[in-house]
Amino acid sequence: MNRGAFYGVIASLLWFRLHFPIWLILLILLVLYAIMGGYSYLNVVARTVKRDVTGLSRYLQVLLRVRSYQKKNWTVPTVFETHVKAHPNKVAFIFEGKEWTFKEIDDFSNRIAHIFEDAGFLPGDTVALLLDNRPEYVAIWIGLAKAGLVTALINHNLRNKSLLHCIEIADCKAVVYGADFCEAFVSVRDELAPSVKQYAFDFKNNVSVPVGSINLDTAMEEASPSRLSGPQRANYGDKMLYIYTSGTTGLPKAAVIRHSRFTFFVSATFFMSPMTCDDIVYDPLPLYHTAGGMVGAGQVLLFGCTAVLRTKFSASAFWKEAIQHQCTVGQYIGETCRYLLAAPPRPEDKNHKIRLMFGNGLRPQIWEEFVNRFSSPSNRVQIAEFYGATEGNANIINFDGRVGAVGFVSMIAPSVYPVALIKVDDVSGEPIRGEDGLCIRCKPFEPGMFVGMILKNHPIRDFHGYADPNATKKKVAVDVFKRGDAAFLSGDILEMDELGYLFFKDRTGDTFRWRGENVSTSEVEAVISNVAALKDCCVYGVEVPGAEGRAGMAAILDPERALDMNVLATEMSKVLPSYARPLFIRIVNTIDLTGTYKMRKVDYQKEGIDVDKIKDQVFFFEASSQSYVPFTSALHEQLKSGKIRV
C-alpha cells in the first residue's frame, strides 16, 4: 500500500468513527503502519513524532503570520509602525553606548522617506547603501522602503570593479555612502552614469563633502519627521532589498528580497527558534548580510524586540557586552563560534543570560563543546541552527538541538514542506536524471543537492531570483519530480539520516565559504591573472585543520618561476577583501583543461594542503609578515597542532 492510499484509509476510518470503537481504529492503524514499513517505520514515527508535531505547530504560526500580512497588504515598514505606536519609547537598538527608541528610528526613517520622495525618486527605484554597522543603517533602508524604494545593501569591503558592479547590476539611481567609505566610492563614481545621484552621510569634524554629492546630514535637518501622507508606496509582494551573494559568474549577484520574503525569513526564525517579543538580541554580524541585517535586525522591525549592534564582531567583547545589555538571544555564524571557543576562559562565559543562540555554520565537531562551555547549571544555551540561501525558498531549522543538523524533513508527512535532496554530478554539480528524464531523490545517507519546490505567488514557496535574469535561470531546474514542476537549486550538498535530520556537507560550483563569507573563485582568479601577467590560475577551497569552512588556494601556471610573491600579495590586498585572498599559493607547470576549456580543480582539491601528496611548490600567507613563505612539512604540522591559527 502506498502512502496516498494509506491516508485515504485514515480519512475513511475517521468518517466511520461513530461506528467503530476507538481501540479498534487504533489497532487497525497500527497494523497499517506495520504493513507500510514494519518495525523500522514504527520506530521512526516514535522517535520523530514529537519533533514533527512541534515543528508543524510552529510552522503553522509562521504561515498564519505571513498570510495575515499578505491579506492586509502590510509591508515591513507597516508592521514596524505598529510597534512604534504600541511602544514608542521602547529601546529598538543599542549601539556604542547609545540607545535608539522605536520612535527615534521611525522619525529618522521618515526624514529619509521625505528626502528621497521630494527629490523625485519613484517607487521601484533602487538606491545603493554603502555604510558600516549602526542603527542609522537600518533606519535608512526602512525610510527608503517607506517611499517605495529598493535598497541595495552593499558589502562595504568591496572595492573597484566589484563595488562598481554591485551598483550597476541593481540599476541604482542613487548611492548613499558613509564618510568612512568616501575614498572607495569616489574611486568608482566617475564610471557611473551621470544621472546617478550621490548622498554623503556622517561627514563630521569639518570634513568636506565631495563636490557633486548631496550632504544627507544637512538634508535630514530640514526634512520632516512625520510619516508620508497618503497610501503606502509599496505592496507586500514588491521588492524591498537587494542582498548580494557570490556566484560562479565571478562577481556578486544581487538577490531579490521582497517584503514577503523578509517577513517569512524573520517570522520563521522568531517562531521556530522560538523567541519572544521581550528578547534582547546580540547582533554583531554585518548588516549587509542576511543573518545580521535581515534575520537579526528583522526581529526588531517585525516583532518589537531590542537588538544590540556592533561595528565588528569581537570574541573578547561578546559575552561581556551580552551581560552589560542583559541580552537573552545571541547570533552567530560558524566562524564566530570557533573564535569564542578559542578565546581564553572568562567568568563571563557562564554569567550571561543568553538562553538561545541562532545562526548557521556551527561545526558539528565543536557543537557540544560550545554549548557546555557557555552554559551554566541554571541556563543551558539552546542552539537553533538554520539553513537557507539568501535568495532561496528552501529554508530549514534545527530547533531541538540535534548535534550537527541544520534542520529536518518529516519522515511521517514529507509533503508538508516540499524540500528534497537530489543526486548531482560530482564534478559539474548538474542534476542526474533517470531514464524518465526526472531527477533522482537521494536515500538516507546519500549526499545530494538540497532543492525547494517552487510554487508561484506562494508567500513561502516562490523563488524571486536575482536582479540578473540569467543568474535566476541558472538556479531553477524544471521537470524535477514530475513534468512541468520546478525547483530552486541551492548549490549545496546535504545528507539526510534515517530520521530526516539534514547535515550540511559541501558546496557545489565555484564558491567556497571562508571567515563567514562566500568567496567567488572566478573573481579571485581574474585578479590573480591580472597581477601575474595573465597567467592561467585556478582557485578553490581547501580544508585547514581546526578552521571553519575552506581557505582559498590558488594554483598558478608559472613554469618559469617568474612570479614575484611579494608583488602578488601587495596587489591582491589592494583589490580583494582579506577573506578572499588565497591563504595558499601552488605553483604548477601545467593546468588541466576540460573539453570546454574549463580548468579542472577536482584533483587539486583532493590533494588539499597535504605536502606529502603535492609535488609542486606551495606558499603560505604568513599573517605576521603579510607575505607568502614556503609551506613546509613543519608548517603543516604546526597548523594541525594548532600552534598556527588562521
Residue 525, pLDDT > 70, answer yes
Q: How confident is the model at residue 24 (pLDDT cuts 50, 70, 90)?
A: low
pLDDT at 11 over 80: no
Q: Domains in the chain and their CATH numbers? A: 3-72 (no CATH), 76-312 (3.40.50.980), 411-495 (no CATH), 511-641 (3.30.300.30)
Structure confidence by residue, pLDDT tens digits, 387-402: 988 888 889 999 999 9
pLDDT of residue 249: 44
C-alpha 623: how far from chain center: 27
Who contacts 595 (Cβ-Cβ below 8 Å, separation ≥6)?
none
Q: What is the pLDDT of residues 147-198, one digit of tens each?
A: 999 999 999 989 999 999 999 999 999 999 999 999 999 999 999 999 999 9
Tell whether pTM > 0.75: yes
Helical (H) or strand (E) element with 48: helix 22-72
Distance separating alpha carbons of residues 350 and 347, to the nearest angstrom: 6
Give the Cα separation of 421 and 443 in Å (integer): 8
The reported pLDDT for the residue numbered 612 is 85
Q: What is the mean pLDDT of residues 500-527?
A: 81
Name beta bridge partners: 87.
none
| pLDDT over 70 (residue 593) | no
Distance CA 282, CA 167 (A): 30
Per-residue pLDDT tens digits for 89-138: 999 999 999 999 999 999 999 999 999 999 999 999 999 999 999 999 99
Looking at the chain, the whole-number percentage of residues with pLDDT higher than 70 is 91
Cell of 136: 542609522
DSSP, collapsed to helix, strand or coil, labels residue 543 as coil
Task: Give the CA distances from residue 65 to residues 58, 261, 302, 303, 459, in Å, rounded to whole numbers and listed in that order.
Answer: 11, 12, 11, 11, 11
In 277-353, alpha helices (H):
297-303, 315-324, 334-342, 348-351
Greater confidence, 363 or 372? 372
Whole-number pLDDT of residue 5:
53
Q: The cell 568612512 sits on which residue?
A: 180
Give the model's pLDDT for residue 67. Answer: 94
| Mean confidence (pLDDT) of the chain | 90
Q: What percent of the chain has pLDDT over 90?
A: 66
Look at residue 445 in the predicted model and tell me its pLDDT. Answer: 95
- For residue 577, say if its preceding peptide bond is cis, omega within 30 degrees of 0: no
> What pLDDT score does 510 carry?
66
Q: How far apart are CA 260 and CA 269, in angstroms?
A: 14
Q: What pLDDT, on the 0 to 100 scale, is given for residue 39? A: 66
pLDDT at 31: 67
Are 282 and 327 within 8 A, CB to CB? yes
Contact 240, 234 (CB under 8 A): yes
Q: Which residues pair with 542 in a beta bridge?
A: 551
Write the pLDDT tens digit of every residue in 203-225.
987 679 999 999 999 999 999 99
- Evaluate if residue 325 carries a pLDDT over 70: yes
Average pLDDT on 309-322 reads 96
Mean pLDDT of 235-255: 83
pLDDT digits (tens, 9 = 90+) for 46-95: 899 999 999 999 999 999 999 999 999 999 999 999 999 999 999 999 99
Of 174, 148, 65, 41, nearest in space to 460 by CA? 65
Identify the three-state secondary structure at position 318. helix
**Contacts by residues 459-463 (CB-CB < 8 Å, ≥ 24 positions apart):** 459/63, 459/66, 459/67, 459/70, 459/260, 459/263, 459/264, 460/62, 460/63, 460/66, 460/264, 460/393, 461/393, 461/418, 462/260, 462/393, 463/391, 463/392, 463/393, 463/488
Q: Is the dihedral of CA 68, 72, 77, 83 positive or negative?
A: negative
Among candidate residues 440, 437, 435, the one with its CA nearest the CA of residue 424:
440
What pLDDT score does 131 carry? 98
Gyration radius of the chain's alpha carbons: 26
Residue 324 CB-density burial (10 A; 0-12 exposed, 13-18 middle, 19+ buried): middle
pLDDT of residue 548: 80
CB 329 within 8 A of CB 280: yes
| Dist. CA 385–CA 407, nearest whole Å | 7
**pLDDT higher than threshold 60 for residue 1:** no
Q: Indicate whether 596 pLDDT > 50.
A: no
Q: Is the pLDDT reported for residue 430 higher than 70? A: yes
* pLDDT 10s digits, 469-489: 988 999 999 999 999 999 999
Q: For residue 186, which of 157, 154, 164 has the smallest C-alpha distance?
A: 164
Cell, residue 353 = 543570560
User: If pLDDT is split at 50, 70 and 90, which confidence band does 405 have?
Assistant: very high
**Nearest residue to 120 via CA among 195, 220, 177, 185:** 195
Q: What is the C-alpha to C-alpha distance for residues 535 and 525, in angstroms, rounded to an integer?
A: 10
Round to whole Å and give the CA distance between 174 and 116.
10
Q: Work out whether the CA dihedral 161, 167, 171, 173 comes out positive or negative.
A: negative
